[in-house]
Each structure stands twice: as C-alpha cells, then as structure tokens.
Structure 1
C-alpha cells in the first residue's frame, strides 16, 4: 500500500495564487531596498556549525537544525562518548554543518570573510529562507523567509533616519496605511536602570517593563520586586508608567527622569536627532512613536531599537523590527564595526494584507488567453499565433490535446482564464481568430493585429 505523502510540521506548500501574493510583497520590498542603495547578497542555506553555535544563546542553539555528516557519521564517536549520551559531546562529532537560523550571523561572517573586497559603509539586503526547530503554531513556522537590510561601517544616525523612511516607503507602496514605527534606545533603558540602581538587573528590568501593556502597572511592579529591584527604585520609575503625549512631550519628561544619567541623556539625544530629521523630511503614511517599554533582544542592540506594528484593529504581532548594534562582526574577530539593520516580517505582512483585502485584484492573474485545440492542422496555426502573442508579452497557451470542446472550456474556467480563442477551418480560411470572453460570453472574429490589440 502506497504511503500517504506529507510535509514536515512547520513547513508549507504554496499554490500559484499564494506564490503570486508573496512575490508581490517581496518584489515591493526589494524595489525599495534597491531604491535606497542596498546591494543584494546571498549566503548558503547551511553554514559550518561553529559559525552558528553559541551566537544565539542556549535557547537559540537548541532551535538550530543540525545536519548529520554524510557517510558513516558515527565513526568519530567513541564507545565511551556514545555510552555517555551527552548531546554536547556527541553532536559536534556527528554534525559539522547546520541550517542557518537567521540572516544576521551569516551576514557577519560574510563581512569578515570578504572585508578586503567590500567598500564601507556597506549597505546590503538579503531575502532568503531560514530554519528554526521551533514548536509550530499560528504565525510561527520552522521554515520561513526573512527580508533584511543592514548598513555596516558607519555609526551615523542618518542611517537610522533612512530606515524609518524605508519602512514608510515599503508600507506606503503596499497601501498599508496606519502603520506605527515604534522606536526606543538601549542607552535610554540603560540610563533608567542606572537611575533606579538596577544596572546589574538591566535585562530583568526591561523584560518586566516590556509587559506593561499586557499585564498592567501593578503586575509589572510585582515582577520587578521578584527580580530584586527595590521599592525605592520602582518608585523612581513612577513617571514612566504614565508617560504619554507626542514624541517631543515624552522626550522632555525623559530628560527630567534621566537628568543624572550620562548614558541615558546620550540615548535621548540620539532619539531627538532621528525624530527631528523625520519631522523635516516627513513620512507618507506611517507614524513614528516613542515607546520606552520597547526592548527587543536587549543583549544584541546597543542604540536605536525599532518595532513596527500593524494598523489599529488588526490583531497581529510586530510586522518588522531591528536596531543598532555596535559590534556585529566582533564574534568573528573584526572589532569596532558598527551597524544598524531592519527586517520585514513577510508572513505577517501577508496575513495583514489578506485581512484588509489590500492585494491587487490582478495579482494572481496567470494565462490571459487559451487557444482551443481542434486537431493537428488547427493547432499548428494556433501555435504560430501563441508564439507571436508571447513575443508581444501576452500570456498565452495552446491546450495540448484535441479533447472535447466542453473539457477544454471547463479547463479555462477552472483556471480563471478570461479569454479563449477558437480557430477552425473557417477561421483559417479567412485568416481570422474567434475571441470569446469567458465572463460575458461575447464572441468576435478578429484579425491577428486586432486580436493582439484587444488582449494588450
């Protein structure tokens, strides 16, 4: 009995309509990346294990897909190692390669490996799949695409300004209005931790603060106390819990809170620069909003932090994010290489556009016209016409078999092909083509030039 086919959990098949919609998003992002001067690169789908392992923390390492060595992969494992059943001991001996977990670490490896060929500052974009051995659930997959853009070799804040503009340009082109680009700064968070005397608990403090809109003020305070943050320190945070108003108003309040923190004031200065620049050039549809609770992988970022939220009323997590990192390439020995980058969440953007019905109606259009096959002689005449139409950029097909007329017409209907062409003996004699509109049922006899003009 034949085995029923299946695909691994956390992966997906995409039909023609879905591929067309995904391509529409990726092409839009790619077009804007190129417009902003980013250059495309690609890296292998798998890397040496040593390149990836240890770069994402224990949790990240656990989610990396390891690739078994080819051949006798157990040959390097001694009986003693085998009996130990130690994952840390056995894995490096049976697996020397792994599927990439993200595009950032491979990019860091790329920059270091090709540093003598790269002109800095280097602006790169990359749109490729990544793999994570995560628990599949709605909106979370084991194989998915990342759409990243980064600049390395410059610590100028104009790069952050451009990324805000880039987000706005992409979402405006996709006609996704009402997007909010949230921004914060690692230095501001470090300054707050300094002011409340919790420098050594920066991660605990920010993880708790990040939950403010989910669990409320009192539970956030309880969590901070459980992490050893004093009541005196929490009391100093009180102005943060009620921090509201526009960008400028929040900045002024933050200056008061962080007046004794040099690093905090530096973060505020950077935020002010970005906001003033954006106010000067203006955004098309997106809104830039200061969010002091925003943390996003705090161990990784060193300056500005971005997160993009969908329009109000759409229940969806972030659809983009990124930030400034001061030592991306340091993990591979190239120090002091500052960078900043952002990413677009392709799958979530797809779901948002689908929910708001923002995909163009013609996006899934494939073949525009199908020639009905009445037999060998008629089909040969059709083939010549199909060839000329394709050369003119019109998507045309000839039904391959001289099947019953009804079968061929049903085929056109099921594929939503809007036109069919009938070429019989009479049409060949008159050098005409009978064009049928499959929606209205209207038929017209046309010369080839008339046919081409109509289909254009």
Structure 2
C-alpha cells in the first residue's frame, strides 16, 4: 500500500504548543472581559441539524455551509434513483445530508435558547468560544475552520447592551495591546429608511449587500451592482449623498434626520443610535475610536437594529469583530418576540494582527517556570521530592531525565523559554543548597528549596 503524504485540508491548520499558548492568551483575555460584564459560558455541538442552519444566512451563506454525509447506505435509505441524482442536487443534498457543521455561533445559540427556554433566566447573557466552519475560498486572514468568540444577550431591548458591547471590544482589544482600532456602528433601520424613501423597501437586502462592499469595490462598483440589482439612476442619485456622508457623529445624525424625515423606520434607527451614544458619554473608552458609518451594512439577514464592525488601523486586515441587534432571531424556532443583540471577536484574525505587531507577551509562551537538571540517577532521586515540593507550591516544574550532558539540559530550557533552572550535583546533595540560575540574566546562587519557592513567589 502506497504511503500517503500527511497533510491537512485546505483552509485548516495545526497549532503548535507555542501557537496554542498565544491563542489561549487571546481567549483568556476575551473570556475574562465577557465575565466582567456578566456573561456566562455555554457550548453547543459542532454539528447541527441542516434545517437549523439553512435559510438563516441568506443565499450566499447557505452555499458556504459544510454538509455532513449521512452514515450508512444513504443511497438505499434515501430511495435515490438516477433522476434525482442527476437533475436535482438541492433535493439530493437534503436526502443524503441531514446534518451540517455550524456556520456561526449565533443561530445555534438561538436554537439553544428556544430548546432550554424553561431553564433560562432572562435576560440571558451568554458567551461561547468554539470553532465554526465555512466552505470559503482560503486566503490571508480567512480560513475554512476558525474560532469565534461570541457574546449575546437575549430578552432585553435596553440599548445599554449595545453601549456595553462597544466597551467590551474596547477593553479586550486594549488589554491585548492594540493601540489604534475603530468600532464602527450603524443601524439597519436607517438602511431600511433609505430604501423606503427611494421607494424600494423590498430591495433592502440587495441594497445593503451592495453598500457593504464600498470598501472593497468603491463607489463605482457599488453603483454598478445596485443597477444590476434593480435600482435606477435616480435611486442612486438619492443614495449617493447618504453613502458619502461626512462630518462628526452629531453632524451625520442631523443630516440623516433631514434626509429620513418622511421615514418612521429611519427616524427610529436614528433615535436608537442617539441613545447608544448618550450612554457612551458616561464611559471613557481606552483606545477605541467609535464612529458612525452609514455604509456599514453587515450582509447577514437577521440584524434589525444596531450593527457593529471592528477594524484595526495598525495592520491591513479585514474586520476583527462584528455583530448587532436582532429582534426576532428565536422566532425561526417558534419563540416569538424575544429581542437579542450580540457581538463576535474574530480570534484568528486577532492572532495574525498580534503576531504582525509583535504584541504577544513573553509570559504567554511560558509553560514551565523551573527545569531541574541532574547528572545521574542519584541526582534524579534527590530531585524528585524537590520537584514535588515546588509543584505543591504551584510552581510549574519539569525534571530533565538523568544521563544527558548539562549543556543539553540547559539548551532545552532555553528552547522552551523556561526562565529558571536548578542544577543538582554531588555538592548540592551534600549541602542541601541547590544551584538556582536565572536563564535570562545568567545570575546563579545557592538556595534551599524553600528559599527558591520564596524567590519565585516574588
């Protein structure tokens, strides 16, 4: 049998111990901020029923859902024949694939809320840090398997939630070391109002999908796409001043009030944004720039109120976070009238940003604090209770197996970035004073195990 060259599927990756240490630094930072704001962790399965996911992300999203082939003899089980195999792939896929890998964490969360509604205290604030899968074309910053870090609150229509999401982004990304990033905010009701005054409310999704691409394809590209999607030159003439809105937040809102004066939907969106900005006046952000961006559309169909997107200004990279308000996400599973709002951190993109900016602290890579080195079996036996004593005191400790040259043992400590070593030879065993070395400074001294614990505690 020919040997197979080991590899992973396109758009997926292995993570080394050093990479996992860095990833955990990101996850732990974000989780600690979520908890500070009252969010509790849950987990949902990697796979959901296909019917749970399909139809929730728009036509484009549906195409990117990874489906799982039914186990067993699916051809016989589904009573397939040549006709539906050859000519109706959509029907065929539902017959041979009843499960799919989750596309995001929000729809599974909505399913969770409905399924467990009798056990939940509302408002329910949850966070989730798990992988999701998308059949996207892999490129820089975009993978087919990646982690999302989501926080959502359901059962509360308070706009304080939206203001707190901005604070969560600001605090977590500031703690991770980012110095210059923008949190953009808009409201889908404003976009709905614009579609209303043009007289094309039924084309709201087409309009938002096109406008959302302004950064990528420019005004000319957006105009071309709008024409293709059923808008006229007159419609676009009305749209352009709104798309190209300039000025401070107050100036943008004042101008929008005039433009949307005849649209109750649009005015409601402006009122909601004003409430969020009013809350923010009570708080001081650390490093984030918060800006109103009318071109921000967030293509996903389920947003109904505020929408967010976060971008770093230090590295060329797509959005590193986003989210928004959805009024009836649980309605698709039979629980009507339950409003919610949520945000997501793009952990993989944040990783790439921190790596490029060299922002991972050295402590994030440290797994072992002390390596005990010995010359022979006798030294190893002497070292065992010392190692146990250090571990009891919560000092992460390793013992290098006896027999290797001391230089090799010290090289091992350096390669793993272990900051301290203890060397045990015949002299140390007789005196009970161990050679304790700081691997960064090269300084070494003779100390008892108790003194070493005290030094490390400092």
Q: TM-score, normalised by structure 2?
A: 0.93
- Is the contact made by 1:301 and 1:325 (CA closer than 8 Å) also made in structure 2? yes
Q: Provide the residue aligned with 2:69 in structure 1.
A: 68
Structure 1's 381 and 8: CA in aligned 2 closer, same or farther, altered over 3 A?
same
Which deviates further from its counterpart, 331-340 or 418-427? 418-427
The separation in 2 between residues aligned to 1:31 and 1:253, in whole angstroms, is 40
Report how far residue 209 of structure 1 moved.
2.9
Structure 1, unaligned runs of 5 or more:
none
Q: Provide the residue aligned with 1:262 in structure 2.
A: 264
Report how far residue 28 of structure 1 moved.
1.0
The separation in 1 between residues aligned to 2:441 and 2:226, in whole angstroms, is 67
The separation in 1 between residues aligned to 2:119 and 2:188, in whole angstroms, is 32
The separation in 1 between residues aligned to 2:64 and 2:215, in whole angstroms, is 28
**Pairing of 1:321-360 with structure 2 (within 5 A):** 321-360=322-361
Which deviates further from its counterpart, 116-125 or 49-58? 49-58
Q: Provide the residue aligned with 1:51 in structure 2.
A: 52
The answer to whether structure 1 residue 112 and structure 2 residue 152 are counterparts is no
Report how far residue 303 of structure 1 moved.
0.8
Q: Provide the residue aligned with 1:28 in structure 2.
A: 29
Structure 1's 444 and 271: CA in aligned 2 closer, same or farther, altered over 3 A?
same
Q: Provide the residue aligned with 2:390 in structure 1.
A: 389
The separation in 1 between residues aligned to 2:407 and 2:280, in whole angstroms, is 60
**Pairing of 1:256-405 with structure 2 (within 5 A):** 256-297=258-299, 299-310=301-312, 312-405=313-406
Q: Provide the residue aligned with 1:171 in structure 2.
A: 173
Deviations 1:266-285 (A, max 9, x none): 11111111111112323222
The separation in 2 between residues aligned to 1:149 and 1:214, in whole angstroms, is 28
Structure 1's 398 and 222: CA in aligned 2 closer, same or farther, altered over 3 A?
closer
Report how far residue 39 of structure 1 moved.
1.3
SS of 1:372's partner is strand
SS of 2:76's partner is coil
- Is the contact made by 1:186 and 1:298 (CA closer than 8 Å) also made in structure 2? no
The separation in 1 between residues aligned to 2:120 and 2:347, in whole angstroms, is 28
Structure 1's 100 and 242: CA in aligned 2 closer, same or farther, altered over 3 A?
closer
Q: What is the Cα-based RMSD across aligned positions, in Å?
A: 2.1
> Aligned match of 1:250 in 249, 252, 274?
252
Report how far residue 232 of structure 1 moved.
3.0
Report how far residue 159 of structure 1 moved.
1.5
Deviations 1:367-407 (A, max 9, x none): 22211232222111101101111111222111124223333
The answer to whether structure 1 residue 92 and structure 2 residue 94 are counterparts is yes
- Is the contact made by 2:377 and 2:402 (CA closer than 8 Å) also made in structure 1? no
The separation in 2 between residues aligned to 1:238 and 1:4, in whole angstroms, is 54
Report how far residue 308 of structure 1 moved.
0.8
SS of 1:123's partner is strand
The separation in 2 between residues aligned to 1:53 and 1:211, in whole angstroms, is 24
Q: Provide the residue aligned with 1:12 in structure 2.
A: 13
SS of 1:208's partner is helix
SS of 1:251's partner is helix
The answer to whether structure 1 residue 232 and structure 2 residue 234 are counterparts is yes
**Pairing of 1:174-253 with structure 2 (within 5 A):** 174-253=176-255
Q: Provide the residue aligned with 2:439 in structure 1.
A: 438
Structure 1's 272 and 330: CA in aligned 2 closer, same or farther, altered over 3 A?
same
Report how far residue 155 of structure 1 moved.
1.7
The separation in 1 between residues aligned to 2:95 and 2:332, in whole angstroms, is 23
The separation in 2 between residues aligned to 1:217 and 1:45, in whole angstroms, is 39
Structure 1's 158 and 419: CA in aligned 2 closer, same or farther, altered over 3 A?
closer
Report how far residue 82 of structure 1 moved.
7.3
> Aligned match of 2:142 in 125, 140, 143?
140
SS of 2:362's partner is coil
Structure 2, unaligned runs of 5 or more:
none
Which deviates further from its counterpart, 434-443 or 110-119? 434-443
The separation in 2 between residues aligned to 1:114 and 1:40, in whole angstroms, is 15
The separation in 2 between residues aligned to 1:300 and 1:107, in whole angstroms, is 13
Report how far residue 245 of structure 1 moved.
1.2
- Is the contact made by 1:81 and 1:89 (CA closer than 8 Å) also made in structure 2? no
Structure 1's 448 and 228: CA in aligned 2 closer, same or farther, altered over 3 A?
closer
Report how far residue 242 of structure 1 moved.
4.2
SS of 2:74's partner is coil
The separation in 2 between residues aligned to 1:363 and 1:392, in whole angstroms, is 21
- Is the contact made by 1:82 and 1:90 (CA closer than 8 Å) also made in structure 2? no
Which deviates further from its counterpart, 413-422 or 80-89? 80-89
